[in-house]
């Protein structure tokens, strides 16, 4: 994933021009010739501001590098359409929150003549509001050898911290890191409105964490909790431990009353 001279810039097609696709365009526009596909209406103005050419999926799929930012719910259908149009030697990259299932889909559907790298930027539009330098991105090699060149580009050109791992290792850790973060945020938001005046530093940090994920699209939470094969185990263990702690507290609060009646 590299760009050449200004007159021969590598083309990059973004499939899915939502919040993250637009964030990608913002930071990749000076390195690539950008095009994008998204079925949603009303994107012409933001595309113009970002220097992105909106085009049909078949056209975008013929870029040198294809960045798939489609939701998990439509991911397989989108990849199947890219597979028909992509050119030999292309590099296909996804940016989803889970890696095992999307990696299997890309490996199964995309032709052998393309390279595949599964990635997960561990940030979004909220956490990248002040820039992306130093933020983390996961890189999972799936097919071909260009993951090393891509990792070098992410480090040197975008100043990201790159973590190279497998889809399985990613999803195991993400089930805790993302799964619990979004789960706790959902529960606390339903308890709201939360205090904003008489707060502690730790509560302020917790509120800040909630604010980073509360505006994510619903499909992001669905992908993290339902499309990660390890998420259910983590989720059940969390709730079981919370229920156990609740029993301990109920028992402890009842003990003084029982002792008083015993006397």
Q: Is the pLDDT of residue 233 over 80?
A: yes
Poorest-pLDDT segment among 66-75, 79-88, 215-224: 215-224
- Top pLDDT among 160 and 262 is at 160
Only one residue has tokens 């209406």, namely 41
Predicted structure pTM score: 0.87
> Does residue 1 carry a pLDDT above 70?
no
Sheet of 136-143, strand order: 53-54, 33-37, 11-15, 65-68, 91-94, 115-121, 136-143, 161-164
pLDDT at 9: 87
More confident residue, 79 or 218: 79
CA distance 151 to 232: 31
Asked if the model's pLDDT at residue 262 lies above 80, the reply is: no
Q: Which CATH class is domain 6-166?
A: alpha beta
* Per-residue pLDDT, 218: 84
Q: How confident is the model at residue 30 (pLDDT cuts 50, 70, 90)?
A: very high
Residue 256 has pLDDT above 70, yes or no: no
Residue 7 has pLDDT above 60, yes or no: no
State how far the Cα of 153 lies from the Cα of 61, in Å rounded to an integer.
Answer: 22
Residues of the chain with pLDDT > 90, as a percent, come to 83
Query: pLDDT confidence of 260, banded at 50, 70, 90?
Result: low
- In 86-230, alpha helices (H): 100-109, 147-156, 167-191, 201-213, 218-222
Residue 227 confidence (pLDDT) above 60: yes
Q: Is the pLDDT of residue 32 over 80?
A: yes
> In terms of Cα–Cα distance, which of 118, 170, 109 is closest to 144?
118
Residue range 128-176, pLDDT digits in tens: 989 999 999 999 999 999 999 999 999 999 999 999 999 999 999 999 9
pLDDT given for residue 6 in this prediction:
46
Helix (H) or strand (E) holding 96: none
- Helix 167-191 to helix 100-109 angle (10° resolution) is 130
* Residue 261 binned pLDDT confidence (cut-offs 50, 70, 90): low
CA distance 82 to 86: 6
Q: Where in the chain is the domain with CATH 3.40.50.720?
A: 6-166
Separation of first and last alpha carbons in the chain: 76
pLDDT tens sequence across 175-202:
999 999 999 999 999 998 999 999 999 9
How much of the chain exceeds pLDDT 70, in percent? 94
């Amino acid at each position: 994933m590299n760009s050449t001279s200004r007159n021969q810039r590598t083309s990059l097609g973004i499939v899915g021009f939502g919040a993250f696709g637009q964030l990608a365009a913002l930071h990749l526009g000076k390195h690539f010739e950008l095009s994008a596909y998204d079925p949603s209406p009303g994107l012409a103005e933001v595309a113009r501001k970002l220097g992105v050419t909106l085009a049909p999926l078949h056209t975008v799929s013929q870029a040198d590098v294809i960045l798939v930012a489609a939701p998990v719910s439509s991911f397989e259908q989108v990849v199947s359409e890219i597979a028909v149009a992509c050119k030999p030697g292309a590099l296909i990259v996804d940016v989803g929150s889970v890696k095992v299932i999307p990696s299997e889909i890309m490996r199964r559907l995309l032709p052998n003549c393309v390279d595949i790298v599964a990635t997960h930027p561990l940030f979004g539009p909220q956490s990248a509001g002040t820039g992306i330098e130093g933020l983390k991105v996961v890189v999972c090699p799936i097919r071909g050898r260009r993951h090393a060149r891509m990792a070098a580009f992410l480090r040197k050109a975008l100043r990201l911290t790159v973590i190279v791992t497998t889809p399985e290792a990613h999803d195991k850790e993400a089930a805790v890191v993302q799964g619990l973060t979004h789960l706790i945020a959902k529960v606390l938001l339903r308890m709201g409105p939360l205090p904003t005046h008489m707060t502690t530093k730790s509560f302020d940090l917790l509120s800040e964490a909630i604010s980073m994920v509360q505006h994510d699209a619903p499909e992001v939470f669905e992908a993290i909790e339902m499309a990660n094969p390890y998420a259910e185990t983590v989720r059940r263990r969390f709730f079981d431990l919370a229920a156990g702690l609740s029993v301990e507290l109920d028992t402890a609060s009842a003990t003084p009353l029982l002792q008083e009646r015993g006397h």
